[in-house]
């Protein structure tokens, strides 16, 4: 039987973390956890109910319906599409910076990783959530390329947005994520840096799977 490891994939917005993490998890028969979706779910609560909701997070449960394209459930309410709205995107970095939000979700994420066999992506997985993960990847790409990727996603959702505007939003979000006081976006010392600007999805997936198999083989 293969030894299970935890894989932490960090990086800025639209670096391709979720797409790659899903594919890697599927190939290894691991559990994929989209921590960004968790923060987006809390952000949706914040938008709908105001800041006071942050003091009552224990009343809410975030789960993933994996048998149906990893749908995101908030107290059994399917919020998969709602959390990808422009309103949520514009607020998620702000809400993610609240200590109560990060403490609540980090504890939840760490419990998921105890049994191993998890691929988790976000911005502080290798540094804060799973600091002992056997494999850590830090994915990056140029802001323009990330904006172009996100633009395609927005078009698929029927959203019209300007590429220059999207590029500016991504640069601004990078600044917020890197400069927040709690768990800022930073590459872990033992993480493998992977620039995906010129790489295809298949090439990135193959590279990470190769690194994972090496770790699994020596554990």
CA distance 213 to 219: 10
Residues 9-59 pLDDT 10s: 999 988 999 899 999 999 999 999 989 999 999 999 999 999 999 999 999
Question: Quick check: is 204 in a domain?
Answer: no
CATH number at 156 reads 3.40.50.300
Sign of CA dihedral 141, 143, 144, 150: positive
Question: pTM for the full model?
Answer: 0.86
- Which whole number is the average pLDDT over 62-80? 83
Question: Quick check: is 67 in a domain?
Answer: yes
Which residues, including other chains, have CB under 8 Å from residue 61's CB and lie 6 or more apart?
74, 75
* Segments forming the whole domain that contains residue 192: 6-196
- Whole-number average pLDDT of the chain: 91
What is residue 69's predicted lDDT score, i.e. its pLDDT?
A: 56
Q: Is 208:28 a contact under the CB 8 Å cutoff?
A: no
Residues 84-114 pLDDT 10s: 998 998 899 899 989 999 999 999 999 999 9
What is residue 144's predicted lDDT score, i.e. its pLDDT?
A: 94
Question: Quick check: is 95 in a domain?
Answer: yes
Question: Quick check: is 217 in a domain?
Answer: no
Question: Quick check: is 207 in a domain?
Answer: no
Question: Quick check: is 65 in a domain?
Answer: yes
Question: Quick check: is 30 in a domain?
Answer: yes
Is the model's pLDDT at 218 over the cut of 60?
A: no
What is residue 67's predicted lDDT score, i.e. its pLDDT?
A: 64
Helices then strands, counting H and E runs in the chain, come out as 7, 8
Question: Quick check: is 210 in a domain?
Answer: no
Q: Is 135:79 a contact under the CB 8 Å cutoff?
A: no
Q: Is 9:139 a contact under the CB 8 Å cutoff?
A: yes
pLDDT band with cut points at 50, 70 and 90 for residue 1:
very low
Lowest mean pLDDT among 50-54, 101-105, 170-174, 180-184: 180-184
Q: Is 137:208 a contact under the CB 8 Å cutoff?
A: yes
Closest by CA to 191, choosing from 9, 12, 6, is: 9
Share of the chain above pLDDT 70, in %: 96
For 106, the token pair is 């980090």
What is residue 155's predicted lDDT score, i.e. its pLDDT?
A: 84
Counted domains in the chain:
1
Render the burial of 75-100: b for 16+ CB within 10 Å, e for the rest.
eeeebbebbbbeebbebbbebbbbee
- Which whole number is the average pLDDT over 72-88? 92
What is residue 93's predicted lDDT score, i.e. its pLDDT?
A: 87
Tally of CB atoms within 10 A around 125: 33
């Amino acid at each position: 039987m293969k030894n299970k490891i935890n894989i932490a994939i960090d990086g800025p917005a639209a670096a391709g973390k979720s797409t790659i993490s899903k594919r890697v998890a599927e190939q290894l028969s691991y559990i994929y956890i989209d921590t960004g979706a968790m923060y987006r779910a809390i952000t949706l609560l914040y938008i709908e109910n105001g800041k006071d909701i942050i003091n009552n997070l224990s009343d809410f449960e975030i789960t993933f319906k994996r048998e149906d394209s990893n749908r995101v459930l908030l107290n059994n309410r399917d919020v998969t599409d709602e959390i990808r709205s422009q309103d949520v995107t514009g607020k998620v970095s702000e809400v993610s910076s609240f200590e109560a939000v990060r403490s609540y979700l980090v504890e939840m994420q760490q419990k998921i990783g105890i049994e191993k066999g998890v691929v988790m992506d976000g911005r502080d997985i290798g540094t804060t959530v799973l600091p002992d993960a056997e494999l850590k990847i830090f994915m990056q790409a140029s802001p323009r390329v990330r904006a172009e990727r996100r633009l395609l996603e927005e078009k698929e959702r029927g959203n019209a947005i300007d590429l220059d505007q999207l590029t500016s939003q991504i640069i601004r979000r990078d600044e917020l994520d890197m400069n927040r006081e709690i768990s800022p976006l930073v590459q872990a010392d033992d993480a493998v840096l992977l620039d995906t600007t010129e790489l295809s999805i298949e090439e990135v997936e193959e590279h990470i799977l190769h690194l994972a198999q090496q770790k699994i083989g020596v554990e």
